[in-house]
Structure 1
Amino acid sequence: MQIIEVEPGFAVAPQLQPADMAELAQRGFRAVICNRPDGEESGQPEVDEMRARAQAAGLAFHHIPVSGGAFPEAAIAAFRAVRIGTDGPVLAYCRTGTRSITLETLANPQGRSASDRLKLAQAAGYDLSPFADRLGA
């Protein structure tokens, strides 16, 4: 399992497996956000199974799917609400981690400048410069 710490209290990951949930709880995460729609690709674990395993491990589980490069305001607001409302570390995942870091950057739960958000994403290995205009950078 590859976990990319973006900052203390928030990390992203590529596709997780149901068996990963117990380890995430042991590592101190309190919530998991899935940013993939069900059935996006063959072999992908279903959200219901991921939710059940997360909850069995004591983790909150949130499904905020986005696809096709679209990041609607409702998804951004839902992501922000989870980030702000969770007491403890959050891990968000999608196929590669890109959608998850993009939602974090757009949601801006820490109230950072656009430049700082782009730098955090870059330091984590994600180039989100195409979103600079949307961020007001």
Structure 2
Amino acid sequence: MLDIKTLTSTLSVSPQIEKMDLKKIADLGFKTIICNRPDGEAEEQPLNGELGMLAERLGMDFIEQPVIAGAICAEDYVEFAQALATATPPVLAFCRTGTRCTTLWVNGTEDLGSREERLNHATQLGFVIKA
């Protein structure tokens, strides 16, 4: 079941997506999917390569930028911002819960004018972002 949360007019986040979700994601108008979850974190999660292949068949771009929960570094923030800058919007980023994607957004972009504004927005959406 999709649980998409809107961060900006061009970026939304969600918990892990499934193969069966891809058609609905395409129907919702998303043009790019960014995966921030490494393969193999959980036994039941679909392989990113399979999701990417199916997304591309539906006309969406698929960008893999796996990051380890609790070990996000400055380079990850830069890479996420670069992916957003080159991606065709609207973009859906996903990880296990959506928190990693949101953390990358809060710390890696200039959206909403300030980190404090991004952090406040993330908190209002129910995310707990560590400093």
Structure 1 length-normalised TM: 0.88
Unaligned runs of 5+ in 1: 132-137
For residue 123 of structure 2, what is the aligned residue in structure 1?
A: 122
**Following TM superposition, by how much is the alpha carbon of 1:111 offset from its aligned partner in structure 2, in angstroms?**
6.6
Decide which moves more: 118-127 or 32-41. 118-127
**Inter-partner Cα distance in structure 2 for 1:13 and 1:117:** 17
1:69-127 Cα distance to aligned partner (Å, 9 max, x none): 11122221221012122232111111111101001111114272121111111122112
Structure 2 length-normalised TM: 0.91
For residue 9 of structure 2, what is the aligned residue in structure 1?
A: 8
Indicate the SS of the match to 1:12.
strand
User: Root-mean-square deviation (CA), in Å?
Assistant: 1.4
**Inter-partner Cα distance in structure 1 for 2:4 and 2:34:** 13
Tell whether 2:94 aligns with 1:93: yes
Question: Contact (CA 8 Å) 2:32, 2:60: kept in 1 or not?
Answer: yes
Deviation >4 Å, runs of 4+: none
Identity of aligned residues (%): 34
Counting matched residue pairs gives 130
Indicate the SS of the match to 1:61.
strand
**Inter-partner Cα distance in structure 2 for 1:77 and 1:61:** 18
Unaligned runs of 5+ in 2: none
Q: How does 1:1-137 map to 2 (within 5 A)?
A: 1-110=2-111, 112-128=113-129, 130-131=130-131
**Following TM superposition, by how much is the alpha carbon of 1:44 offset from its aligned partner in structure 2, in angstroms?**
0.6
